[in-house]
Chain A
Amino acid sequence: MHDVFIVGVGLTEVGKRVDIALRDLAAEAVVKAMEDAGNEKPEAIVVGNMLSSLVEQENLAALIADHVGLRGISGFKTEGACGSGGAALLAGYSLVSSGLFDKVLVMGVEKLHERPTPDTARGLAYAADADYELIYGISFAGLNALVMRYYMDKHSVTREEMAHWAVMMHENAYHNPYAQLRKKITLETVMNSPVIADPVRLFDSCPLSDGAAAIMLVSEKYRELNDTPVKIAGISNALDSPDLSSRFELDRFIAAKLSTERALKMANISINDIDVAEIHDAYSIVAAISIEEIGFAERGKAPKLWAEGRFRPGDKPVLNPSGGLKARGHPVGATGVYQVAEIAMQLRGDFPGLKVGGEVGLAQNIGGVGSNVTTVVLKR
């Protein structure tokens, strides 16, 4: 396998982007990533996206490549629910590491605000088991709520401990110019926010987001395109059941554990080497289980640690200096690409929000309720 480097990144502001068409939002990220990589053009494009069918548009690789003057290159779209961006990275990495291509542009794009929220919520629930779960009308928030109640009961975690996560994410996002929710909140904001799927409250949940992110991946031959290339030292994906019923344990995400173990092994590092990580906090319960499965906390202990002040700038590891899905936002199929771009910028030293630096970073992107997980390890 050939080494793979990140030599360009491009992000768009996350938010309600009804001002701009999907293709133009995608183009903004793609052009920034190409410019960051010395204006070099890719030989292939991989597009992470979950729900472009909501705007009646598929065949996104062709749409976006053509729109930015890349007609003729290779490409396709990847889908893995909220983990679609991670899937795009895995595919793009494979295209370069195999030697098939030297320059591959990996991007993610999502537009969730084009349709009324109940339509979008139904679409997001397609990540679950249609025949056995969706048939009861449960939303994605509801599925996470089932796990949250089970986890809090089993590990005696308090409502207030859970609420600290959102406060920390809003503090971090306050400094991030790309973030959707750039305002600080208090514990009371979280504890008094409306219940959307008991026990999940509005501020346990990420917002609905539009956004696009892009990364230029190259082989050794082209690493000089950027003064500070960042190496993809490890990458792995793991799958679990889309349904919750057949899980062996309801308070665990085995796919998060497996993909982390494999990515760390590939990078030949231990969990203690990680300086900074972007994890997939679609809900505060997802943050807790992700942190525990990665190995940053013992089982059932993550909320106690973050309530005590861990994982903030100055700690090792720092988690989600971007503000995470909670406050940077969660443009579903783009999220995995945002996370890796943000870690690359932290290691390069040019992230425009909270700068935490470091030599080794990790990103974990989760699709479904822990059913499709990609973990990436980056080294400067």
Chain B
Amino acid sequence: MRNRLIRLSGTKCQDCGLVTYPPKAACPKCGSRNLIEIELPRKGEVLTYTILNVPIKGFEQYAPLIIAIIKLGDAKVLAQLTDVKPEEVRVGMKVQATIRRTAPTLDGVVPYVVKFKPIKGGKISSEEERAELATA
């Protein structure tokens, strides 16, 4: 499952064309089960965000925790923003995927997840991103 999350896997309906994230077993729009798994683009822009001063138990180390919904191609993805100060976050900000650790699960495993960081000055660091994907 986590591998799908890191790869930003979504599903695309072969009948109506709807792209959905998280991936579903059937299309939420037309009900078709004729779906293929696709990888979403790894760059997009912030649609909305929140800054949590009080995350849920286990995530205290990340406070203030910044969570955004990001438009990635034809899909939307909820994820954490990283490498950015709370006061710098804006709706419309361009961001790119990066692989990071998150808080340990209840059984002590430290999972890797996809987070998003600002694209500095519009510069695209796809080599850095490929390297991250390879090591994940």
Determine the chain B residues whose CB is within 8 A of the CB of A138 once the complex forms.
50, 52, 55-56, 65, 67, 78
| Interchain nearest-CB distance for A203 vs B (Å) | 15
Determine the chain B residues whose CB is within 8 A of the CB of A195 once the complex forms.
51, 53
Residues B113 and A135 in contact, CB atoms below 8 Å apart: yes
Determine the chain B residues whose CB is within 8 A of the CB of A149 once the complex forms.
48-50, 91
| Interchain nearest-CB distance for B103 vs A (Å) | 6
B54 at the interface (CB under 8 A from A): yes
Determine the chain B residues whose CB is within 8 A of the CB of A243 once the complex forms.
22, 78
Determine the chain A residues whose CB is within 8 A of the CB of B131 once the complex forms.
none
A56 at the interface (CB under 8 A from B): no
* Contact (A132, B102) CB under 8 Å given A137-B58, A137-B59, A245-B69: no
Residues B62 and A132 in contact, CB atoms below 8 Å apart: no
CA–CA, A136 to B58, complex, Å? Answer: 10
CA–CA, A365 to B68, complex, Å? Answer: 27
| Interchain nearest-CB distance for B108 vs A (Å) | 15
Residues B55 and A246 in contact, CB atoms below 8 Å apart: no
Residues B51 and A198 in contact, CB atoms below 8 Å apart: yes
Q: Which residue of A lies closest to B51 (CB)?
A: A198
CA–CA, A129 to B79, complex, Å? Answer: 12
For B98-125 the 0/1 string (1 means CB < 8 A from A) is 0000110000000101000000000000
Determine the chain B residues whose CB is within 8 A of the CB of A194 once the complex forms.
53
* Contact (A131, B53) CB under 8 Å given A136-B78, A150-B47, A245-B76: no
For B10-45 the 0/1 string (1 means CB < 8 A from A) is 000000000011101000110000000000000000
| Interchain nearest-CB distance for B136 vs A (Å) | 15
Q: Which residue of A lies closest to B105 (CB)?
A: A135
Q: Which residue of B lies closest to A246 (CB)?
A: B20
A69 at the interface (CB under 8 A from B): no
Q: Which residue of B lies closest to A140 (CB)?
A: B56
CA–CA, A195 to B87, complex, Å? Answer: 14
> Is the interface on chain B under 10, 10 to 19, 20 to 34, or 35 or more residues?
35 or more
Most buried by B among A121, A245, A247: A245
Q: Which residue of A lies closest to B54 (CB)?
A: A196
CA–CA, A131 to B114, complex, Å? Answer: 12
**Total residues of chain A contacting the partner, CB 8 A:** 38
* Contact (A136, B80) CB under 8 Å given A149-B50, A198-B50: yes
CA–CA, A164 to B1, complex, Å? Answer: 43
User: Of B20, B53, B57, B113, which contacts A196 at CB under 8 A?
Assistant: B53
Q: Which residue of B lies closest to A152 (CB)?
A: B48
Residues A122 and B21 in contact, CB atoms below 8 Å apart: no
A-side binding surface: helix, strand, loop or mixed?
mixed
Interface residues in B63-106 by Cβ distance below 8 A to A read: 65, 67-69, 75-80, 86, 91, 102-103
* Contact (A245, B22) CB under 8 Å given A118-B57, A142-B67: yes
Residues B1 and A131 in contact, CB atoms below 8 Å apart: yes
Residues A245 and B103 in contact, CB atoms below 8 Å apart: no
Q: Which residue of A lies closest to B81 (CB)?
A: A136
CA–CA, A145 to B5, complex, Å? Answer: 23
Residues B78 and A121 in contact, CB atoms below 8 Å apart: no
A146 at the interface (CB under 8 A from B): yes
A79 at the interface (CB under 8 A from B): no
| Interchain nearest-CB distance for A284 vs B (Å) | 15
CA–CA, A194 to B29, complex, Å? Answer: 39
Residues B53 and A136 in contact, CB atoms below 8 Å apart: no
User: Of B20, B55, B75, B76, which contacts A137 at CB under 8 A?
Assistant: B55
CA–CA, A200 to B51, complex, Å? Answer: 9
CA–CA, A247 to B77, complex, Å? Answer: 10
A298 at the interface (CB under 8 A from B): no
Residues B52 and A139 in contact, CB atoms below 8 Å apart: yes
Residues B91 and A146 in contact, CB atoms below 8 Å apart: no
Residues A125 and B56 in contact, CB atoms below 8 Å apart: yes
Determine the chain B residues whose CB is within 8 A of the CB of A47 once the complex forms.
none
A133 at the interface (CB under 8 A from B): yes
State the 6 A-B residue pairs at the shortest beta-carbon distance, nearest first. A137-B59, A145-B50, A118-B57, A150-B48, A122-B56, A137-B55
Q: Apart from A196-B53, A246-B75, A250-B76, what are 14 other A-B pairs with CB-CB below 8 Å?
A: A118-B54, A132-B22, A137-B59, A139-B54, A142-B52, A142-B55, A146-B68, A198-B50, A243-B78, A245-B21, A245-B75, A246-B20, A246-B76, A247-B76
